[in-house]
Each structure stands twice: as structure tokens, then as C-alpha cells.
Structure 1
Amino acid sequence: MRHYQLRRLSDLPIIQTSDVKPSLSGFEVLGAFNPAACYFNGEILLLLRVAEAPPAEKGFVIVPLIEEQDGVPVLTIKRFPEPAGPYDPRVVTLDGKVYLTSISHLRLARSHDGIHFTIDEKPFLFPARMDESFGIEDARITFLEGKYWITYTAVSEHGPGVGLAVTTDFETIERMGMILPPPNKDVALFPQKINGKYMLLHRPMISEIGKPSVWLAESTDGVHWGNHKFLFGGRGQANSGELNEPFAWEGGKIGAGPEPIATDKGWLVCYHGADATHAYALALALLDSDDPSKVLDRSTTPLLTPELDWERDGFFPNVVFANGWVQWPAESDHAGEIWVYYGAADSGVGLAELVQI
């Protein structure tokens, strides 16, 4: 993949946490990042992941989550005494259970030029089921068969799974339920059927055996998925388990980004890798047009790494993470250009262009 570069279109974030208003009274926005993206009715639409939480209280850990009350999922707030020793302020274990200290939803942002966005004040998709009780995160949008298919990470006490929703107008939305159970995430749907089947990329979570990897699955209806196949994994560890230094940037984690783009060479896939220090980078893979289980090429070095201050410092430092890109249509001023919207340090949104060299 030596023929592509990612060039930042701005040295500043195009969206910052401070640009987004809380959707809930008394809550604070902790981060607005990792947007899905698409072109719709002459505009660029983003679905931001917005993380919110009640204000901190000295001596307590505050946990917002969905709980079932009389059979109805309801947003509640739990207060726990603060642990005595050091702890992760984002993910805590309290009374033997793991909790998130914020809850995420999807928020719609709109732009005619792809740079200056108007952000809705209310959620587009808010956690509403018990399998979303800890939040909705990191969506992808694929236009397929006249509908916009939105996959997202649904987090609960059982772990992260994959939810699906569809819309035709970004006003009404139909939830299709959980299509891949925990532990799984980073699902990107292909924008057309291949050999009569719907196809997607996904990332099962590993246990004691195995390494982080991207998988391929197929479906006859877009809801029930099977024939899962390993596609590619991180090259940052040799088989001995020792560090493979040239690929250390994808040795810790790996996962698919936005929906694949069809090119005359094959399916272009953007993916992220993370190293042992949890610093994230962006790269590309190329899959065969007729058989996406064949990997034709991959980046040998990352195309984008955290270099600017706002990519290095934030809610979760040293992150560039893309789950949204847009190929501008022929009738637009940017015909054919591919713009990549990426989350930076879980605190804002950056913009880069994917260019051939």
C-alpha cells in the first residue's frame, strides 16, 4: 500500500468536546470523537460518539448506566465510595463488577463543506436496551440497497457486542438488534453484496489463545451472520511472542475502520492498529474484489500516527482512530476525493484526505 498517503486537511480539530452540548440535564460531555460518516442529500453527516457523565464528586465514583425497572430500561446513576488505591478513572471494578464511568450515545452533525459542522443538541441513538446498558459507541455507516446501515458497539456488563440500526432519512431509525454477541466490535459492512451475500468485517476479542485480528463474515439477510473467516492479524508479535519491531505499531490491537471502498484494484480497507503502550495508528489493506477473504496488500508502515498535541493529549491519549470516511460524489466540488474523519485522543475529531501518490 505504498501508493497512498493520509494528509491532514487541518492542523486543528474540526470538532472539539467543547463544541457539543450535554444531552442530559446535569451531565457533562467528556468526549466527542470517533465519528461514522456518510454523504447524504448534499451534506456530510457524522455520527459522533459522545461520552457523558454526571459531575465528579469528591470521595465517590459516579456511574451512569441503564437498569431495568419494572421491565423497562431506565437511565440511573450509581454512587460508590472511591477506591483507596490507584484506579482507572474510566473503567473501574466496584463490588466485584466492572463499570464504565461515562455513558456514550450517537449524535448527528451536519456540514455542507465537510469542515464546519452543526451538531444536534439531542442524541440520534441513545442506549435503550439492556445489551446497551453501558453505552453505544463507535458507529460505522454503510449505504446499501437504498438504506443507511449503522453498526455500532453495544456495551453492557456482558461485554461489547455489535448492534445494527437502519435509516433512510436520518430522522427515523429502526433498531435491528444485536447481530454479533460479546465479545466483538469494529464491524464494517461492505456497500454491496458479493456473490449474492452480504459481507462484513469484524473483530472478535481474544482470550488466552490467539492474537488480535480482523475477520470476515457473510449473511443472506444482513442480520444473521456466519461462515466466519480469519482475514488478517497484527504483525507486531512474532510467533515466539517476542516483539516484531517493524510492526510494533499494530502489535497490541487491530480492528477494521469504515466501510470498504470499491476500487479497480480491489476493496480498500482502512484499519487501526495499537502498540503495546496503547498508541493508535491508521493503515490500509486491499482485498480481492470477488473474494474479500484474499488479502492482496497491506501497509508496511502506518499512514497516520498521533503527532499533534490534540492527538496526543486527551480523554485517552495518543489515539488516531477512523471509523468514518466519505468519497465525495461526482457532482460535488471535491469529486472523487476521500476524506477521513478520525477521532483524536477520544476528545475531538480530525480530518485528513486519502491521496494516491
Structure 2
Amino acid sequence: MRNYQLRRLSEQPILKTSDVKPATEGFDVLGAFNPAACLVGDEVILLLRVAEAPRAEKGFISIPLIEEQNGILTLTIKHFTEPDEDYDPRVVTIHGKQYLTSLSHLRLARSRDGIHFDIDEKPFLFPARMDESYGIEDARITFLEGKYWITYTAVSEHGPGVGLAVTTDFRDVERVGMILPPPNKDVALFPARINGTYRLLHRPMVSDIGKPSVWLAESTDGIHWGNHQFLFGGRGLTDPRFAWEGAKIGAGPEPILTDEGWLVCYHGADPTHAYSLALALLDKDDPSIVLDRSEAPLLTPERVWEREGFFPNVVFANGWIQWPDQEPAMSSDAGELSRSGKIWVYYGAADSGVGLAELITVDASNQ
């Protein structure tokens, strides 16, 4: 495996929460982060996770969610007295039931240079099923067989599962439905069939038995998945050198095929819930074979805007693009950055913005 590094291309976030307008009247945007990414012609497309909540009232928590009323799915708001004790800013338990404090949807952003984005004012995908009643989160995009396959975390009171939608133009979109039931998330679909079948990476959520891990599955139609296999897990539970991936682990964007094999970006979290980014390499003909993994994280939360935000100390990638060897025409404000053949990684920072880094290779003999 080549010696990879992630190099920030900007010392500031390229997108901030304040750049995004709320889609619902009376709501505030709490975070715009964790974008899926792809190239469509000469445009970079991001699908931002946008978390919104009703404007806060002192002493109360207002919970937005989708409920069925008279057979119609409706956005509703539940009001509760704020707990006296400290609670997670993202999730709260009231009367024995867990709620998310915000409702997430997917928002489309477009750019000609990959740096300066125009953000739609309305959602691209908004919760529209009861298995999405707590929100839609953290999409991945894979271009496969002439379509853009969008996998995302669909959250409800029953837990997080994996939804699928498809589009050809990012204007019209077809919801396929839930392809992996709760509790599961972090699905990255491979961009080609392997030995005749579709493949994806996913992350079952474990409880008392087992440990955080990435799994592999296959399908003949892209909807019904089986032959689930453990692929790799966090090494921090048994080796303190890998504490950075000891508490959580999950796949990031779609794998990229290289001469060496399938390159996989993944995230790990330590026991303090600080998130980092790393790489794994899978065999190109049999991705159940792990050829190599990062010995240390390639990106950790170091900048103030990566360490402070709605959920602090997070760098989380579920979107990257590989520029073609022949660069498309760029807008005049694209700057002097070289793009030809480069891999750019778009990552969420502290659940509050988006950073941009470039995946580069370094000759180890010159270090």
C-alpha cells in the first residue's frame, strides 16, 4: 500500500452552518455537515446533512419528528420541559423514550471548482416515511450502471437503518426504500459489480457482545442483500496504539479502485468520541480480503472549527471525488490548485461545517 497522507486544502471550512438557510419556517439550522460527494459533468455535487430544530424556548426542549396524522405523514413538534441533568445535545431520553433534538435532511450544493458552492434553499431529500421519522443522515453517493445510488441513514424510534434512493440528474429522485433494517448505518456501495454481484460495506451496531466493525455484503439486484461477512474491526480494544478507533468504526465514501486494490476511507472514534480518518485496502477481485490498513489516522480534529461545534472533536468523511486526468473547465475563481487526477475528500467538522482535504501519496524513502 502506498504511503498516503491527507492534506488540508483550506485552513477554514469551505461551508459553514451559517451558509445554509433553514428549510422550515420557525426552525434554525444547527449543523450543515457530513456531505456525500460526486462529479456530474463539470459540476461537483454535495449532499449535505442539514440538521434543523425549532427555535429554542428557555426551559423547554422542542422535538421535531414525522408522525402519521389521519393517514398523512406530517412534520410535528413535541414540547418537553428541559431535563435538569446534563444531556447529549443530539439525543435525549424523555419518559423512557429516546428522541433526536433535531431533524436532518439532505440538501444539495453545486460547484464548478469544488470549493465555492451554491446551496439549494429546499431539501433534496426530506423525511417522507415512518422509518425516516427522526431524520435522514450521512449519505453516500455511488455512480453505478448509469445511475447515482444514494445510500443514507434513515432514523426512527426503532433505530437507524439504511435507505436507498437513485437519480440520474440530481433533479428527480426515486426513493427505493430501506435496504438494511436497524440497527445499521455507514453503507458504502462499490462502484462496479465484482464477479457479477453488487457489493457494499456496512456497520451493524453491536451491544454487549461483539465490537465495532465494518462488514461486507453482496446482492444480485442492489436491493436485497446477503452473504454478510465481517471485514475488519477497531483495534483499540486490544491494542492501545489504536485507541483512536477503539470505540467506533465505520466506512466512509464509496471505495475507489486503484492499481493496488479497492481503497476505502473509514472513520474511527476513541473512547472520548473524538473522530479520525484512516484508510484500508481491499483485494480488487475479492474485497473480503483486507490487504492493508492505516497504522495511524491520516486526519484528526486539530483546527478550532474541527474541535468546537455542535458535536466537538470530529472529522468525518462520507464524500470524496476523483478528478479526471483531463480537468474540466473551471470557473475563474478556482485558484491555482491542481486538480488533474487528484482525490479530494470532503469531511464534516464538529457537526458544524465542511472541510476539504486532498489525498496524496508520499515516497516513504524520502521521509
With the length of structure 2 as denominator, give the TM-score of the two structures. Answer: 0.95
Other structure's SS at 2:244 match: helix
Which amino acid counterpart does residue 51 of structure 2 have in structure 1?
A
CA shift, 1:96, in A, is 1.4
- Unmatched runs of 5 consecutive residues or more in structure 1: 239-243
The separation in 2 between residues aligned to 1:83 and 1:346, in whole angstroms, is 23
Partner of 2:97 in structure 1?
A: 97
Other structure's SS at 1:65 match: strand
CA shift, 1:34, in A, is 0.1
Show the 5 A alignment for 1:168-317: 168-238=168-238, 244-317=239-312
CA shift, 1:81, in A, is 1.4
CA shift, 1:87, in A, is 2.2
The separation in 2 between residues aligned to 1:176 and 1:184, in whole angstroms, is 17
Which amino acid counterpart does residue 281 of structure 1 have in structure 2?
S
Show the 5 A alignment for 1:1-357: 1=1, 3-238=3-238, 244-332=239-327, 334-357=339-362
8 Å contact kept, 1:43–1:113: yes
Other structure's SS at 1:154 match: strand
8 Å contact kept, 2:17–2:30: yes
Which amino acid counterpart does residue 349 of structure 2 have in structure 1?
A
Other structure's SS at 1:79 match: strand
8 Å contact kept, 2:89–2:310: no
The alignment yields a C-alpha RMSD, in angstroms, of 0.8
8 Å contact kept, 1:2–1:299: no
CA shift, 1:80, in A, is 0.8
Which amino acid counterpart does residue 153 of structure 2 have in structure 1?
T
Other structure's SS at 1:315 match: coil
Other structure's SS at 1:187 match: strand
Which amino acid counterpart does residue 254 of structure 2 have in structure 1?
E
Q: Which moved more, 1:324-333 or 1:39-48?
A: 324-333
The separation in 1 between residues aligned to 2:197 and 2:340, in whole angstroms, is 30
CA shift, 1:83, in A, is 1.7
The separation in 1 between residues aligned to 2:110 and 2:306, in whole angstroms, is 23
The separation in 1 between residues aligned to 2:181 and 2:8, in whole angstroms, is 36
8 Å contact kept, 2:89–2:101: yes
Cα deviation 1:101-143 (Å, max 9, x = unaligned): 1000000000000000000000000000000000000000000
The separation in 1 between residues aligned to 2:33 and 2:327, in whole angstroms, is 26
CA shift, 1:73, in A, is 1.1
CA shift, 1:60, in A, is 1.0
Q: Which runs of 4+ in 1 moved over 4 A?
A: none
Other structure's SS at 2:211 match: coil
8 Å contact kept, 2:109–2:119: yes
The separation in 1 between residues aligned to 2:89 and 2:203, in whole angstroms, is 26
The separation in 2 between residues aligned to 1:106 and 1:343, in whole angstroms, is 14
The separation in 1 between residues aligned to 2:98 and 2:2, in whole angstroms, is 42
Which amino acid counterpart does residue 13 of structure 1 have in structure 2?
P
The separation in 1 between residues aligned to 2:82 and 2:207, in whole angstroms, is 30
Percent of counterpart pairs with the same letter?
A: 79
CA shift, 1:2, in A, is 5.6
- Unmatched runs of 5 consecutive residues or more in structure 2: 329-338, 363-367
Other structure's SS at 1:221 match: coil
The separation in 2 between residues aligned to 1:223 and 1:9, in whole angstroms, is 37
CA shift, 1:295, in A, is 0.1
